[in-house]
Amino acid sequence: MELPAALGKYELLEFLGGGMSHVYRARDTMIDRTVVVKILTDSSCQDADAKARFLQEAKLAGGFQHENIVSVFDYGEFDGKPFIVMEYLQGEDLRDAIRNGHLGGMNDRLRIALNIAQALDYVHGRAIVHRDVKPENIHIASNGKVKLMDFGIAKAPDLSLTRTGMAMGTPYYMSPEQISGSGISHLVDIYAYGLLLFEILTGIRSVRGETMEQVFFQILNYPVDVAAMENAGVPPAVRDLVVRCTAKKPEERPQSFGAIVEELRGLLAGDSKSATQSLPKAARPAPVQAAPAAQVVEKKSKTPLWIGIAAAVVIVAGLAFWMLRPGPAPAAPGMVYIPAGTFLAGLEKKPTKLRAFFIDETEVSNADFCKTMGCSIEPGKESLPKVGITVADARAYATKIGKRLPTSLEWERALRGTQGALFPWGDQLDASKANVSDNPAATHELMPVRSFAGPPFNMIGNAWEMVDDPVTPSATAIAMFATVMTPPATAQEPWITMRGGSFDRVLEAGFSYDASSIPERFSARNVGFRCAKDGF
């Protein structure tokens, strides 16, 4: 279209962009006001669903009157083309504001989050679900005003514009129930808002898969990265809000944006609990108490008696140490011995006891596997992890060499040590220490099993590792694997878990304490294993 051009009383002055619709900066010639005009393209007009959604957006947004929602002044059709006239906003969308570092400090970010929650609370109050909450649909004006935009796939109770089973929304911000098709409610917006809040606070997207399969798998199986929020200095109460908003089960999320608004207002007012107060009572550190004065000062000391007692204690302790001293740790070539004892397991770091066991220093390599099982190896790939096999294949190999697959808890104990570290190297989210997709020095493919050594081994990234724990799959897991396996996966077949992430996943703290369920007959180019055996 050659500009300037006329659309009724609107003079189109500048093309601003668009896809299914074209967006222009325009002037309302009747009242001399700068506006934005959005016009459905010729090709989109031929799509009945696209046209219906466009008109739906005009109808819904035209009825909104809220300071944090973009205003719609007019809508209709001109020469057979539907159009919408909206307020003209100067500034940038939230995606650019995050990328350009324009969000300010923590309180500024929380105010932006509060404005978005207020807008969505207003929308939900009218029984409308937005269904496409993402940074591109949030505008931050040059005066700091936050505006929610784009109601093209919003859904009112009396309006159904999606084909049966069709999931609407941007994949990175879709909820588990949208992916699995288990029912859409207003809680999908709360889930997407939680991911949006994570991004506002940390500057990074929570879901970062490179393929649709990876994105859906992460949404269905992995929580948000709490460590990333900790590293960004996000207060505990705010981290807790993000975790609750992004709960996989809808009933575990806040049930309304009204509740989120009140919580954010309290946080901005400083009416939030400290990190210690927010812990369960049993998890709080015990208060330090001063010793009674009688124990601090002994006015009438009997030095000779105390010397004798101390000497006796030293002698008894020495004899006990000599008699009960541990022998040298058992050895098994290529394996690490993990002594019996208690370690801190899971997200909550729950004390857990395990018997002694051995575990391989690395994933099983192609060379080791084929030496035992008699298979061929492509030249140059001898030292890569053995992948593309089923659980039955892995068990057969382990049995032949007198080993087994590790249990999930054994695998986690080996990775986290006794104190529940998030990574083999500590609690720092450092992608440079593993073969993960956000390590700029990695190859984004499998690497030799000893590429990231120690201490004593690295179980993060490279290939997912099967662990021998039978598991009942969730409905979302079944739905996910039903789309990638032939015949489709079912709940009746045996499932186990895999752990540790892979070369095509970004580094997450959840790799250390969380697991993903897979059917035993599943195989993939990024799933391998390592072996274990009982200790002496």
Name the residues annotated as catalytic: 132
**Of 5, 2, 61, the residue nearest 29 (C-alpha):** 5
Cβ partners under 8 Å of residue 48, min gap 6:
none
**Of 342, 339, 343, 510, the residue nearest 416 (C-alpha):** 343
Vertex 438: Cα angle to 433 and 443 (nearest 5): 80
Sheet with 81-87: list strands edge to edge.
5-7, 10-18, 21-28, 33-40, 81-87, 72-78
- Helix, coil or strand: residue 532: strand
CB atoms within 10 A of CB 109: 20
For residue 393, give the H/E element and its range: helix 391-400
For residue 76, what are the β-bridge partners?
Answer: 83
Whether 161 and 137 have beta carbons less than 8 Å apart is answered as: no
Helices vs. strands in the chain: H and E counts, helices first: 17, 18
Joined together, the tokens standing for residue 300 give 């009438």
| Cα distances (Å, whole numbers) of residue 382 to 312, 442, 461 | 61, 19, 19
CA 518 to the chain's CA centroid: 19
DSSP 111: H
Whether 138 and 296 have beta carbons less than 8 Å apart is answered as: no
Whether 480 and 179 have beta carbons less than 8 Å apart is answered as: yes
- At position 353, the amino acid (one-letter code) is K
DSSP 179-191: HHTS---THHHHH
Q: How far is the first Cα of the chain from the last one, in angstroms, to the nearest whole number?
A: 80
* Angstrom distance (rounded) from CA 103 to CA 269: 19
For 194: left if phi > 0, alpha if psi spans -120 to 50, otherwise beta; the answer is alpha
Whether 21 and 41 have beta carbons less than 8 Å apart is answered as: yes
Residue 62, class by beta-carbon neighbours within 10 Å (0-12 exposed, 13-18 middle, 19+ buried)? middle
Residue 328, class by beta-carbon neighbours within 10 Å (0-12 exposed, 13-18 middle, 19+ buried)? exposed
| Cα distances (Å, whole numbers) of residue 297 to 160, 290, 293, 301, 302 | 80, 13, 6, 9, 13
Sheet with 464-467: list strands edge to edge.
516-519, 495-499, 464-467, 527-528
